[in-house]
Structure 1
Amino acid sequence: MTDLCPVYAPFFGAMGCTSAIVFTCFGAAYGTAKSGVGIAAMGVLRPDLIVKNIIPVIMAGIIGIYGLVVSVLISNNLTQQTALFTGFIQLGAGLSVGLSGLAAGFAIGIVGDAGVRGSAQQPRLFVGMILILIFAEVLGLYGLIVALLMNSRTGGDVTCTR
């Protein structure tokens, strides 16, 4: 082991992998649950609009896919002999997609809940709700892009050999 390749370096990569999937799934679960409550409440009076207003739930599920993609990419690069630089980059990539996915899931849940209830009373609100949901989804996409760019930099100059 050297200063550039300590024994604990893979821990940071594993934590990046974990944070990518955990935080995005928290966001996706919150967005699904919050929007689902709105759909259930709206469906009591307007059951004909349930399928049309399922879009926020689908968009919340996509946030979880972002975390899955980054988590799989990070886990493919995990090795016992890892440079500290690589571990930190993997941690940053996981936190990037994870925390942005958490924020996007919260936004989708809140907008989805209020949006489906509102569009049941005023159908012209539907297009506005979709546009706001798209902007909320893009927040998670930004985190995915940054995570992919960061993860592509993990093949640094340092090689760890025994």
Structure 2
Amino acid sequence: GVMRPDMVMRSIIPVVMAGVLGIYGLITAVIINGKIKAPSYSAFQGYAHFAAGATVGLSALAAGLAIGVVGDSGVRANAQQPRLFVGMILILIFAEALGLYGLIVGLVVASSADGKGRDLCASWGA
């Protein structure tokens, strides 16, 4: 930042994209929390909500790893050769799409558990 102040805004893009992955987890947590109704919450719904959270979390982990590696290498290479910026952005967009796909699958799994599985998975106390 001190040596090349013109590169600051270009260098912050991977950080912002990684922050969006955390928002995906927050969205999933809020939606799952809204679907939990204590007296009628079945084990099937619990496992489905766990699977939804794990899906979003693991896809965000993979996307974050890709964004971290590409962002680090891309920012360093961009300081040497500014033409590499477009390629870095394209790879970052595809890595972010991986996290977005996980969010979509997680939301589908979480919404498919509504009112289902009352007889499928018996709870321990029953």
Mark yes or no: TM-score above 0.5.
yes
- 1:112 match: 71
Q: Spell out the pairing of 1:2-81 with structure 2 (5 A cutoff).
A: 43-81=1-39
Task: Classify the secondary structure of the residue corresponding to 1:86.
Answer: helix
Closer, same or farther: CA 97–126 of 1 in aligned 2, 3 Å? same
Q: Give the aligned residue type for 1:132.
A: I
Identity level (%) = 58
Q: Cα deviation per residue 1:92-146 (whole Å; 9 max; x = unaligned)? A: 0000001100111111111111101101100000000000101111110111000
Deviation at 1:159, TM superposition (A): 4.9
Q: Give the aligned residue type for 1:97.
A: V
What is the alpha-carbon distance in structure 2 between the residues aligned to residue 123 and residue 80 of structure 1? 55
Cα root mean square deviation, aligned:
1.5
The runs of at least 4 aligned residues of structure 1 exceeding 3 Å deviation read 156-160
Q: Confirm or deny: 8 A CA contact 1:85 1:156 kept in the other structure.
A: no
User: Please, what TM-score do these two structures have when normalized by structure 1?
Assistant: 0.69
Q: Confirm or deny: 8 A CA contact 1:119 1:126 kept in the other structure.
A: yes
What is the alpha-carbon distance in structure 2 between the residues aligned to residue 157 and residue 115 of structure 1? 47
Closer, same or farther: CA 85–132 of 1 in aligned 2, 3 Å? same
What is the alpha-carbon distance in structure 1 between the residues aligned to residue 33 and residue 59 of structure 2? 20
Q: Across the two proteins, how many residue pairs are aligned to each other?
A: 118
Q: Give the aligned residue type for 2:88.
A: M
1:150 paired with 2:94, answer no
Q: Give the aligned residue type for 2:107.
A: L
User: Please, what TM-score do these two structures have when normalized by structure 2?
Assistant: 0.87
Deviation at 1:158, TM superposition (A): 4.3
What is the alpha-carbon distance in structure 2 between the residues aligned to residue 157 and residue 129 of structure 1? 44
Deviation at 1:78, TM superposition (A): 1.5
